Amino acid sequence: MSAPDQTTGTDAPAGIGFKADEDLIAQVDFAKSGDGLVAAVVQDATDGTVLTVAYMDAEALRRTVETGRSWFFSRSRQEYWQTGETSGDRQYVRAVRMDCDGDALVVLVDQHGKGACHTGERSCFFRTIGQGPGVPRPE
């Protein structure tokens, strides 16, 4: 099933829901932050680029699993949003990973369209504050 893409007028593929480990979902600590939300780092599944950071509650995670598309909760608007519904730049989910403390997620996606940032950039992290030489890992 395809939905019309609002930016191009063409049909966009529907997401593909996936089976999730309910025991792990139950371990996501939505209460820890006090607002029922966990940070969700969205990363390109192909090249590892961090595209954005957004927030999920239990409902946004459920919608993501069921639809195979990324869903988040807007702290400023106090509503759910699905990436690409306005821009057409959709995210199709390959995997959702949880950190060791259960209070953060990584969402691996196939990014369709120009990018993930509302500014039109591919990644929300397109500005570099500074750079250093780093220290190579010992061999």
Residue 30 has pLDDT above 50, yes or no: yes
pLDDT at residue 7 above 80? no
Q: pLDDT band at 85, cuts 50/70/90?
A: confident
Band of residue 87 on the pLDDT scale cut at 50, 70, 90: confident
Question: What span, in angstroms and rounded, lies between the C-alpha atoms of 28 and 11?
Answer: 34
* pLDDT at site 13: 86
Distance CA 115, CA 127 (A): 15
What mean pLDDT do residues 60-72 have? 97
Percent of the chain scoring above 90 in pLDDT: 83
